[in-house]
């Protein structure tokens, strides 16, 4: 089967590049709602007079000296009727971008609500929290796709009565520019994804440490810090605290991979009284667990993992994270 040669016309390429440029740089300007409204007003009043548009553009951002480079780059490209039309379209799209972003955040809030009733150190919590940023990105992309499909199909019943006229005008511009080769949704998503990525709360890495710290705070351990081992500066304890003058050093890693080997090495000369490895436990096999505990390090894993692996239950230095409490810690 022969694949036909892929090609993009020069006109289609140029309009999409210009659209992306204007969208990217306008967002960099971080215009206020009032500034956007003023720009739209002046664009409509000045029609296609590039010189008048440029003069009024400068007036609107006269107090934004730190953004002067962005302004200059936009101004030198507001020199054709098509680019002025693209810029006008983008200003209205930015209003929609913020609405779509807030809608995507609602999905994130729903995920956070689910987590509020789940043990923060459980495998179930981890599964939801790890997927949460991906769900926000996917939902944001689907929302944007649905929005552009609706305005291009002239469907406006998803907006309030007060917004229908605005959306209709936006739809007319979208359809006209599409005929000229603009792919609004695809190019819009390049920038929209960046906005989503900046706004989402990622629940990996240091967040796992934060969850453990909260659990320790709840059981009465308040003074917790991150330190390097006194005898081995290459090893860092993610969580260090004391109970009745006994020091505890914790390595908190969702997944162990090969990183646990450094912690084992340090346990020979550690300056702490009790060394603990906390992990979800999904990659903790029997041999790895035995290697960690043989030199005195204790292991705490998610309750679901602990219950599902008999060999972990048989090792006297391995515990379920359900048992991470003062009583257990004092016995170590």
Given a contact cutoff of 8 angstroms between Cβ atoms, the answer to whether 35 and 59 are in contact is: no
Q: What is the CATH number of domain 206-331?
A: 3.40.91.80
Given a contact cutoff of 8 angstroms between Cβ atoms, the answer to whether 97 and 24 are in contact is: no
pLDDT value at residue 205: 45
Tokens representing 99 are 């609405």
**Which residue reads 């993992």 in tokens?**
305
Region 151-174: what's the mean pLDDT? 80
**Confidence grade of residue 157 (pLDDT, cut at 50, 70, 90):** confident
Cα–Cα–Cα angle for 152, 155, 161, nearest 5°? 125
- pLDDT one-digit tens code per residue, 187-216: 999 888 887 777 665 444 458 888 999 999
Of all residues in the chain, the percent with pLDDT exceeding 70 is: 87
pLDDT value at residue 259: 58
Given a contact cutoff of 8 angstroms between Cβ atoms, the answer to whether 318 and 231 are in contact is: no
Q: Which residues pair with 249 in a beta bridge?
A: 240, 275
- pLDDT one-digit tens code per residue, 318-332: 999 999 999 999 998
**Which residue reads 């934004």 in tokens?**
64
Going from the C-alpha of 256 to that of each of 208, 237, 259, the distances in angstroms are: 13, 15, 6
Region 2-10: what's the mean pLDDT? 71
Strands of 50-114 (E only): list them.
none
In the predicted structure, residue 164 carries a pLDDT above the cut 90: no
**Residue 128 φ then ψ, to 5°:** -70, -45
Average pLDDT, the chain: 83
Work out whether the CA dihedral 223, 227, 229, 230 comes out positive or negative.
negative
Q: Beta strand 246-252 with 236-243: parallel, antiparallel or unpaired?
A: antiparallel
Confidence (pTM)? 0.68
In the predicted structure, residue 55 carries a pLDDT above the cut 80: no
CA distance 332 to 325: 11
Domain ranges in the chain are 11-199, 206-331
**Confidence grade of residue 126 (pLDDT, cut at 50, 70, 90):** confident
């Amino acid at each position: 089967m022969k694949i036909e040669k892929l090609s993009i016309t020069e006109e289609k390429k140029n309009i999409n590049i210009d659209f992306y440029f204007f969208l990217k740089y306008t967002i960099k300007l971080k215009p206020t709602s009032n500034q956007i409204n003023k720009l739209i007003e002046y664009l409509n009043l000045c029609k296609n007079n590039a010189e008048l548009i440029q003069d009024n553009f400068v007036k609107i951002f006269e107090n934004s000296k730190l953004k002067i480079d962005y302004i200059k780059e936009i101004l030198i490209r507001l020199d054709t009727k098509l680019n002025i039309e693209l810029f006008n379209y983008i200003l209205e799209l930015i209003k929609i971008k913020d609405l779509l972003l807030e809608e995507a955040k609602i999905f994130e809030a729903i995920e956070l609500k689910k987590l509020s009733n789940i043990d923060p150190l459980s495998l179930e919590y981890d599964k939801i929290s790890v997927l949460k940023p991906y769900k926000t990105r996917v939902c944001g992309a689907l929302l944007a796709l649905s929005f552009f499909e609706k305005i291009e199909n002239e469907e406006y019943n998803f907006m309030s009565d007060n917004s229908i006229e605005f959306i209709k005008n936006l739809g007319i511009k979208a359809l006209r520019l599409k005929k000229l080769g603009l792919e609004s949704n695809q190019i819009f998503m390049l920038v929209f994804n960046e906005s989503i990525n900046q706004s989402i709360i990622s629940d990996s890495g240091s967040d796992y440490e934060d969850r453990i710290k909260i659990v320790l705070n709840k059981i009465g351990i308040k003074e917790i810090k991150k330190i390097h081992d006194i005898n081995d500066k290459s090893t860092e304890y993610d969580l260090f605290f004391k109970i009745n003058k006994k020091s505890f050093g914790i390595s908190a890693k969702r997944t162990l991979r090969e990183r646990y080997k450094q912690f084992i090495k340090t346990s020979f000369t550690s300056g702490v009284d009790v060394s603990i490895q906390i992990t979800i436990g999904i990659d903790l096999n029997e041999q790895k667990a035995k290697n960690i505990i043989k030199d005195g390090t204790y292991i705490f894993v998610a309750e679901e993992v602990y219950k599902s692996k008999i060999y972990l239950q048989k090792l006297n230095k391995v515990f379920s994270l359900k048992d991470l409490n003062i009583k257990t810690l004092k016995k170590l």
